[in-house]
Amino acid sequence: MNKNSFSRGLFVGVIITVVLLVGSLGSMLVLDVAHLGQLVEVIHKVKIYSFSPVSLEGMIDGAMNGIVESLDDVYSDYLHPGEYQDLEEHISGTYGGIGLLITESENNSLMVVSPFKGTPAYKAGIKTGDKIIEINGRDAAELGLAKSASLMKGEPGTEVNLTVITKEGGSENNKEYNIVRELIHIPSVEGERLGENKEIAYLNLMMFSQQTGEDLESLLKEITVDTAKGVILDLRDNPGGALDAALDVVGYFIPQGPAVHIVSKEEERALSTSDNYIDKPLVVLVNEGSASASEIVAGAIKDTGSGTLVGTKTFGKGLVQSVFEIRSGAALKLTTAKYLTPNRHDINKKGIHPDITIKMDPELERKAILMAPDLENDLQLQRAVEILKEY
């Protein structure tokens, strides 16, 4: 089973989505006519006198980017329509495509980490370890990872052509696939039973999308967690996601009660869990890639004493972003609040220290997480299993 590394490098913090269609600048005009007049004057002079060509749309986009950059907040952004669509797909957990998890390997070639089960790529026969060399006739190595992933996405019902190097019978062969895109559900959690007697339930949570609560509920039934001796929750390299999803998840791992405090300009409120608590010995794996929504879950478990944290200090992102939709399919992503753990710890830029610190060689750790669960090489996972066997 493979860790879904597609989320690495993409923004997923604690997200609240808000729809706000901006109609006019009337109130802003009342507030500061002079500065808005200066902005109009700058746009006019650049358009008339600048030797470098620039469109009116480009100047306005630049002005909007500048407004957000003036906040000096790395988590706030003006999102162009394409960027907003990517974020929406990531939060919703669905997109139009063929269902491949890919990564870059040596010589900039693209390797298939895994096809998602039941997707067009899976049904076509593409396998883990296959190398993608062309996408719609274009060299995949020259395209790079991000562009290649983008080309494989598209409207359900449309077709993409792949040329793939695959191993069969000890030799490598080129194969061409014409694959029709479908609506793909991105799996946000995977799991299985570990141990000689399969007595430990291992849950690998890769992101917090709007589907994560349902995914986790289904998985817990599938691996019959109620018969397990203990549970391992792997949050390593999980960069976060939707706030509601974090609350859905943490409800399984702490008793009913406050899970997080949200502090905004207007108010402070405690958000509580639902009554889904699994009363089992619990170990949570964390590292510096565990951020935001992952830290809400890890912090609640640590504060309530519901489990043991193993690994290294988490990232330290204790801020909440809201996404405001504006005209033409663009959006603003703004930091609108911070959060505190149940015991009111502010973890922003501090992170959460595990109960048991186990450091690994970074490259070995990356490979172990990617191929999770890797009981042979993963020292942090080995320690988690040892802890649960003591119960």
Task: Please give the Cα distance from 63 to 46 (Å, whole number).
Answer: 13
Which residues are registered as beta bridge partners of 337? Answer: 264, 320
| CATH code of 105's domain | 2.30.42.10
Catalytic annotation present for 45? no
pLDDT for 279: 95
Task: Please give the Cα distance from 217 to 301 (Å, whole number).
Answer: 18
Amino acid identity of residue 31, one-letter, is L
Amino acid identity of residue 391, one-letter, is Y
- Please identify which of the residues 317, 322, 333, 378 carries the catalytic annotation: 317
Amino acid identity of residue 373, one-letter, is P
In a domain, 371, yes or no: yes
Picking from 350, 256, 223, the residue whose alpha carbon sits closest to that of residue 295 is 350
Q: 246 and 377: one domain?
A: yes
pLDDT for 33: 60
In a domain, 2, yes or no: no
Which structure tokens are listed for 217?
Answer: 């509920």
Task: Please give the Cα distance from 304 to 284 (Å, whole number).
Answer: 13
Q: 199 and 217: one domain?
A: yes
pLDDT for 13: 54
Q: 311 and 260: one domain?
A: yes
How many other C-beta atoms lie within 10 A of the C-beta of residue 120?
Answer: 22
Helix or strand or coil: residue 85? helix
In a domain, 303, yes or no: yes
Q: 234 and 368: one domain?
A: yes
pLDDT for 1: 46
Q: 104 and 221: one domain?
A: no
How many other C-beta atoms lie within 10 A of the C-beta of residue 383?
Answer: 17
pLDDT for 161: 96
Tell me the whole-structure pTM to 2 decimals.
0.79
Domain boundary among 158, 185, 212: 185
Q: 177 and 227: one domain?
A: no
pLDDT for 371: 75
Domain boundary among 128, 158, 185: 185
| CATH code of 248's domain | 3.90.226.10
Q: 116 and 253: one domain?
A: no
- Please identify which of the residues 76, 292, 294, 306 carries the catalytic annotation: 292
Q: 178 and 205: one domain?
A: no
Number of independent structural domains in the chain: 2
pLDDT for 2: 46
* List of the chain residues with pLDDT < 50: 1-12, 19-29
Q: 208 and 247: one domain?
A: yes
Range of the domain at 164: 97-185
pLDDT for 365: 86
How many other C-beta atoms lie within 10 A of the C-beta of residue 193?
Answer: 16
Catalytic annotation present for 76? no
Q: 252 and 117: one domain?
A: no
In a domain, 28, yes or no: no
Task: Please give the Cα distance from 174 to 315 (Å, whole number).
Answer: 42
Task: Please give the Cα distance from 34 to 166 (Å, whole number).
Answer: 64
What's the Cα-to-Cα distance from 198 to each of 193, 253, 339, rounded to whole Å?
Answer: 5, 20, 37
Catalytic annotation present for 359? no
CA 327 and chain centroid, separation:
26
In a domain, 265, yes or no: yes
Helix or strand or coil: residue 108? helix
Q: Return all residues near 126 (Cβ < 8 A) that are at least 6 apart.
A: 100, 112, 115, 162, 164, 166, 177
Q: 238 and 104: one domain?
A: no
pLDDT for 170: 73
In a domain, 360, yes or no: yes
pLDDT for 15: 64
In a domain, 276, yes or no: yes
pLDDT for 16: 59
In a domain, 19, yes or no: no
Helix or strand or coil: residue 143? helix
Domain boundary among 149, 164, 185: 185
Q: 222 and 113: one domain?
A: no
